[in-house]
Structure 1
Amino acid sequence: MVKAEAKERILKLRKLIDKYRYDYHVLNKLEISEAAFDSLKHELKKLEDEFPELITSDSPTQRVAGKPLKEFKKIRHSFPMLSLEDVFSEKEFSEWAVRIKKLSPGADFEFYSELKFDGLALSLVYENGGLQYAATRGDGNIGEDVTQNVRTMESVPLSIAEKRRVEVRGEAIITNKNFEAINKEQKKKGLKEYANSRNLAAGSLRQLDPKIIASRKLDFFAYDILGPDFENHSEEHKTLAKLGFKIGGANELICKNLEEVFKHHKKIANTREKIPYTIDGLVVSVNSNKLFQRLGVVGKTPRGAIAYKFAARESSTVVENIIVQVGRTGALTPVAILRPVQIGGVTVSRATLHNEDEIKRLGLKIGDSVIVGRAGDVIPDIIKVLPELRTGGEKNFHMPRICPVCGKPVKKMLEGGVGVYCLNQKCPARHREWMYHFVSRKAFNIDGLGPKILNAFLDFGLIQDIPDIFELKEGDIAPLERFGEKSAENLVKSINNAKKITLARFIYGLGILHIGEETAIDLAEHYRSLEKIESADFDELNNIPNIGEVVAKSLYDWFRDEHNKNLIKKLLRYVEIENPKKRASGKFTGKTFVLTGELESMSRDEAKARIRELGGDSSETVSKNTDYVVAGANPGSKFARAQKLGVKIMDEKEFLKMIK
């Protein structure tokens, strides 16, 4: 990027960050997630590092928080309440460690790692053992007097066993359990629900009536004590605990080296959903207070401590292009080609846009700066467009009227629907995508036959359609590049193993529009034979629980198509279908489960199978009819939806007890 472009981008980023910063720190609301906000600040800092001559004193990187509101009495802090620099990866953390080690060569570097709470920073001042006043961070130098409200917080000691003047700093938070309970009450009263626990904690502290904050049961976690001399930061935490303050406890750790910091970070990141309050990373500081003081401050940031955040689930980037992909059902899906960005620990370069209506809803143009989010293993989505960062060179996008692969006309399948489809069954893109689906793990599960190998077989003319796969011999495969006798033998063995298949997998493998894995299981268990599914009329299909009119029509039409009838006849020459037995009733009969996140003791498929063995049902979506959501590590959006709907959430340990 040339200097002129950098200058324009820096000015726009500063303006946008200042707006969000004021919303966040002063008005206690935020239109984007904190992770997305962090990524904007991160981009600005990188640009200013690259062009230091463009740094100005009013840049968001040079100051802390926002101006205090006028509704509360102002209090000047004895020592500024500084902000921390953010890092998001082992590489960035290592670079910080190298920088500070260069400033103090020969020093013994021991680190103290503690939780980074996502709440409102507070300063509590005690004199002669009594709480004198409590103040918010404000702009870092001047905060707001919230003493009356803080006195109602049970976790804040009103007196301590320390006669000297001390200042205790920490974070006011609301536990996840209390947050859910308060939102449930709001919903019951028909009032607006709170966006997140930090907003609720901050808003509560600014209530003029202390009774309101008392009813919300805010917690206070201490992380620093100013006044007495301590040799290191870990001693401060021990003293805080002795004085009656809550600290991070078992989640805090003295780390002798970077490897121990990284190990601790991974452990907390993998178990963060089990922590009863919101955290967004670790604060890692040099443990020695003398060394911390010697390292000093740069701008408004201490050199000796850093916020080591979890891999962002959201980040800002740029949409460089929009392409259209054709799926196995003929659906045309617009896909955003992104400037590569790290989200959730992986590099993301594409995001699904679903359909043209979604592009219009977002107001998205090619070239736009956007916020991209990724929850769990879900395909990344564009969450928000940032029109404030437009340059004027952005372009509108329009869905094609013909298939971008076969050139045949496309149309909407349903009146008033949003999906656009290529109806040409011989479309090469549709055909290949369908074949990829057919051999996939959840369908026929032909190990070793992925998209690359399938493409090679199609390109060499070894196969033209799905049934041809079952005719392949070792002699056909072995001469191909990357194959030998042994690998050809293994692939043919996998193909032969796939000839025996359950009815549910067979139905799913057919790639029928709207028929996912769970619907295929429902159909198999309802009819228990392919012949009965083929002969079912529309009304009969429509009356099956969890099916519905759209799915019923798709099924009915598919099984009456001559091409599809011939396909099934050919497949049945090679394939033996195992029909399911009638499911026995069990302790889960009538109960519906949804799984989210990563399970340690078993795969999701194994968990679903166990649920069905016990008479229960597994679903892919959370609704008011869901009985339980089982949450593993790094759960996705289903976890948040379950919280919103008040669905019972259990962790893996609780689930394992239930299935014993």
Structure 2
Amino acid sequence: MNIEQQITQLRDELRQHNYNYYVLDNPTISDYDFDIKLKELQALEEAHPEFYDANSPTLRVGGEVTKNFKTVVHAHRMYSLDNSYSLEDLKDWETRIKKLVDGDVQYTCELKYDGASINLTYKNGALVQAVTRGDGVQGDDVTANVKTINSVPLQLKPPFPEQFEIRGEIVLPFDGFNKMNEERIANGEEPYRNPRNTASGSLKLQDSAEVAKRPLDCLLYGLVGSNFNFTTQFESLERARQMGFKAPKESKLCNTIDEVFEFINHWDHARHELPYETDGVVVKVNSLYQQEELGFTAKAPRWAIAYKFKAEQVSTVLNEITYQVGRTGAITPVANLEPVELAGTIVKRASLHNADQIEKLDIRVGDTVYVEKGGEIIPKIIAVNLEERPVDSKPTEYITNCPECNTPLERIEGEAKHYCPNYNGCNPQIIGRIQHYISRKAMDIEGLGGETVALLVNAGLISNFADLYELTKEDILPLDRMAEKSADNLIAGIEASKQIPFERVLFAIGIRFVGETVAKKLAQHYKSIDALQNASIEELVNVDEIGTKIAESVVDFFSNEENQKIISRLKSYGVQLEISAEKLANQTNKLEGNIFVVSGVFYQVSRTDLKKLIEDNGGKVSSSISSKTNYVVAGDKMGPSKKEKAEKIGVEIISEEDFLLMIK
């Protein structure tokens, strides 16, 4: 056996032993023997660098240092999940599903592990990239750190697709977390608060050798791609296990929502025996074909839902109510609490939402209140213990003036919140608008964070987001903690933002009620900021999914003289305020006024591309057939009930070929 064969054989052996130990929990070799083989491989690799392999078992110990984590756009967006809290919620979800798909529906139930979401990419069986969830659209490349996690396979067991992605959670088991804290306490250091935050923080450590010392685990649950030879979610989990992934076996295939609820009830109690943190159950439509039929809303898949276990509650004392001003001028009252531990974190503050909520619960300073984490993320006060109320207690009087600029507050009829109308003179509003402008989903200006924005505003260097484009390196170097390289990166990031497409610029400028989805709709309809600026309320309301409230907000924004000046300046700096000629070349109005439903399996273009072609040519895609539907594009295996409904109400059914001829 030559040297190369020896190295290959040792790598294969060590990978198998690693899989047996960390994935199957069934070691077939002692730790001592494993270490001997690992040292033998290290010696051979050092003597023969020509046989280097980026995924060798010897590289699990880390050592690579990452100063800045590169931002990577996800090839497939990582959506969040809609939440449910009762059997009624699940039944409502099932009713919505059955209106949209034909035939029986099965469900795959999986435990919802509380960790840090990760997306792994494999090519030819080798791990090539690991990216955090980030904001769902893009995340950070943490490949070097993830390679140190023993349950993440660096080389897969065949057969495997040529290229695919798989998603899961990086978790920190309770045992490992407790040992880490024992060591920290022994060294006189502050213990970590909870496993989830510690796991998430570990992924962003600069030295991968430090990550390797942490007993992180990786639980996988979702294969992403289209070149698989299975048809269900439940099969995909088994296929993932065969390739070498640690896909938890606690999943179950259910035929009814009642069976799903039995699974939930069992794990609501049994989860306390698991080695990891869990906060609920994820229920998915099992058929991948039905998943594709159901598709996504703007924020979440229609084919999956998270059932959240009842949140932990604690009681504590409300010490003070303070008020925060948001970028839109909205006032949010905040409860400042006596610090209390809740779901593994120390809670000191909770949102009180608005004046109505304070009045409804009759919340007062000095009250003993019950706090829980809404969706186990944001703490909220759910009730007051009136028996503990101090005898000298006084009802809370909501503020009448802005806590920052002292301007009298306004409350728009029909709205719950109070607003500060001092749009151009209230500091938190100015800072908040610029922070929104530079955020990831908006202009994504690298090198510029929220704290730096506040520094720039407070130093008098900027007072709106157009001012960013006039900043020079000399302006920002005197700022606190601003080194030369940081200044260069900030200026370069601002320059690069001029290439951000129009729909994201429209979201970035912060028109009230214009979120990502609405910005995209308006950009597609009006094509440029000039056309949008000249639109009347009546014209805007005629745009698909634009209501009176949004239309009025858009007109108000552009009627403001200060906003007009800012838009004019952005234009002069070269910011993209219209859809590019290249993108417009692929768009027509051929299908304008027509609503399409897409159903079945397609061969010339994918379902996703087909829907995009409809929208690019001015049509609208709907998920269900109604009297408003103009066409059903029917592929192979179109559901019989959809066909029957279309025929019954007289909707024209066309083939994939017919549709492509329509837009030719």
What band does the TM-score fall into relative to the shorter chain?
Answer: 0.3 to 0.5
What is the TM-score when the length of structure 2 is the normalising length? 0.44
What is the TM-score when the length of structure 1 is the normalising length? 0.44
